[in-house]
C-alpha cells in the first residue's frame, strides 16, 4: 500500500529543467537537444543569457528567434536572464540545468560551470545530453562565419533564423 502511494506521488511530480545559453542564434543542434530533453522533462525553460561574446542579435531578438521555433509547444518557455543562473534556479525552485556535450573539448568548460553552479546552489544538478551525430560539429560562430561568406546553412538552422542571419550579415 505504501509503495502504491509512493508511485502515485511520483507520478504527480512535475519535472522542470532550465537550458541556458547565448543562443546567438539558436541552431538545429540546440533544437535537437531541447526536443530530446522533452522525453524526460515536463517543461524546459530556455534561458537567454547576456553574454560577453558580443552577440549580433539583441537578447530580445534572440528570445523571439527561439520562441518562433517552439511557438505551439506549451512545454517550452523562453526567458531572458540578467543575473546568475544559480539565483534564477533557486528563486524558481528548479534543480536541473541541461547542457549539451558535443566533443571532449566541451568537457572542461562544462565541468567548471557545473561545479561553480553547484557551489552557488548545492541542489542544482547539471544533466548532460550528448549531441546527436548530425550536430556535433555545429556552433553559432561557425554558422555566422559560413553565412557571412555566402555559404549554405539551411541544414544547420531553421528557415526564419537563416533569414534573420542574412539580414544581419549579408
Ligand atoms: N548544438 C550546437 N551548438 C551548441 C550546442 C548544441 N547542442 N550547445 C552549445 N552549442 C554552441 C553554441 O552555439 C555556442 O557557440 P559559439 O561559442 O560559437 O557562440 C557554444 O556552443 C557555447 O554555447 P552556449 O551553450 O550558448 O554556452 P555559452 O558558453 O555561450 O553560455 C552560459 C554560457 C550562458 C550558460 C553561462 O555563461 C551562464 O550560465 N550565464 C548566466 C550567468 C551565470 O550564472 N554565470 C556563471 C556560470 S557558472
State the closest ligand 1 atom to the C-alpha of 23, by its place in the atom list counted from 1: 26
- Domain spans in the chain, listed from the N-terminal domain onward: 13-135
State the closest ligand 1 atom to the C-alpha of 120, by its place in the atom list counted from 1: 48
Closest CA to 49 of 95, 91, 88, 16: 88
Instruction: List the grid coordinates of 140.
Output: 553559432
pLDDT of residue 80: 98
Overall pTM > 0.75:
yes
Q: Quick one: which H or E segment has residue 59?
A: helix 59-69
Distance between Cα 74 and ligand 1 center (Å): 24
The tens digit of pLDDT for each residue in 108-149 reads 999 999 999 999 999 999 999 999 998 899 999 999 999 999
Q: What is the torsion angle, in degrees rounded to the nearest 10, for the CA atoms of residue 109, residue 110, residue 116 and residue 119?
A: -150
CATH, domain 13-135, list 3.40.50.620, 3.40.50.720, 3.40.50.740, 3.40.50.970: 3.40.50.620
The tens digit of pLDDT for each residue in 49-106 reads 998 889 999 999 999 999 999 998 999 999 999 999 999 999 999 999 999 999 998 9
Amino acid at each position: 500500500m505504501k509503495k502504491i502511494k509512493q508511485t502515485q506521488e511520483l507520478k504527480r511530480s512535475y519535472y522542470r529543467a532550465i537550458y541556458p545559453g547565448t543562443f546567438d542564434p539558436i541552431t538545429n543542434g540546440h533544437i535537437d537537444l531541447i526536443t530530446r530533453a522533452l522525453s524526460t522533462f515536463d517543461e524546459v525553460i530556455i534561458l537567454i543569457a547576456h553574454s560577453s561574446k558580443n552577440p549580433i542579435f539583441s537578447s530580445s531578438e534572440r528570445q523571439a528567434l527561439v520562441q518562433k521555433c517552439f511557438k505551439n509547444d506549451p512545454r517550452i518557455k523562453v526567458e531572458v536572464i540578467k543575473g546568475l543562473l544559480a539565483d534564477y534556479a533557486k528563486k524558481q525552485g528548479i534543480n536541473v540545468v541541461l547542457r549539451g556535450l558535443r566533443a571532449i573539448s566541451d568537457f572542461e568548460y562544462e565541468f567548471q560551470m557545473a561545479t561553480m553552479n553547484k557551489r552557488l546552489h548545492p541542489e542544482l544538478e547539471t544533466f548532460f545530453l550528448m549531441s546527436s551525430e548530425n550536430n556535433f560539429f555545429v556552433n553559432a560562430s561557425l554558422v555566422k562565419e559560413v553565412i557571412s561568406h555566402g555559404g549554405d546553412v539551411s541544414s544547420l538552422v531553421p528557415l526564419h533564423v537563416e533569414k534573420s542571419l542574412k539580414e544581419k550579415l549579408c
